[in-house]
Homo-oligomer: A and B are copies of this chain.
């Protein structure tokens, strides 16, 4: 129950401290923070042109900020480009798509609470992705690529 100063300091993850890994489906991933107890995860995704993420439903809210490139949800009219911000409420259902004619990778910062419920075409839950799952996947991909496990990830 002791509270050390160390517990409460600001944590910093430099751009190089969390390396990119290739997930093999046109998406690079880096994980900066996972709060397992609260179910919050902070990641960046770098999407190749033409990538589409299957339709999913969120169990908590999401913050998104686009750093480079261009993407949209099939269900919405807006197109997100560098400097644009999105807020997704809990219960949001959408299909992320990256235009085929993009001329650069699409780099997006996400702060996600809870899980993605991945849906079949019939709307059934096929699987879910949460903070624990994304952390496990990130570490496994680093291992598979022979890359060292980063010391600076923020995992609580």
Residues of A whose CB lies within 8 Å of any CB of B are 1, 3, 7-15, 17-18, 32-33, 36-39, 42, 59-61, 63, 65, 67, 73, 76, 78, 80-92, 94, 109, 111, 113-115, 117, 125, 127-128, 130-132, 135, 149, 151, 153-156
Given A10-B76, A115-B59, is A36 in contact with B90 using a C-beta cutoff of 8 Å? Answer: yes
Contacts of A86 in B (CB 8 A): 10-13
A3–B59 CB distance below 8 A? no
A38–B36 CB distance below 8 A? no
- The residue among A7, A12, A18, A94 with the most chain B CB atoms within 10 A of its own CB is A12
Given contacts A10-B94, A17-B84, 6 further A-B contacts (CB under 8 A): A10-B92, A11-B87, A38-B38, A39-B59, A39-B114, A67-B67
Contacts of A109 in B (CB 8 A): 65, 85, 109
Given A3-B155, A111-B111, is A10 in contact with B88 using a C-beta cutoff of 8 Å? Answer: yes
> Which one, B8, B89, B151, B156, contacts A91 given CB within 8 A?
B8
CA distance A12 to B62 in the complex (A): 12
Distance in angstroms from A120 CB to nearest chain B CB is 12
> Which one, B14, B15, B91, B94, contacts A130 given CB within 8 A?
B91
CA distance A15 to B3 in the complex (A): 24
Given A8-B92, A117-B128, A125-B125, is A87 in contact with B39 using a C-beta cutoff of 8 Å? Answer: no
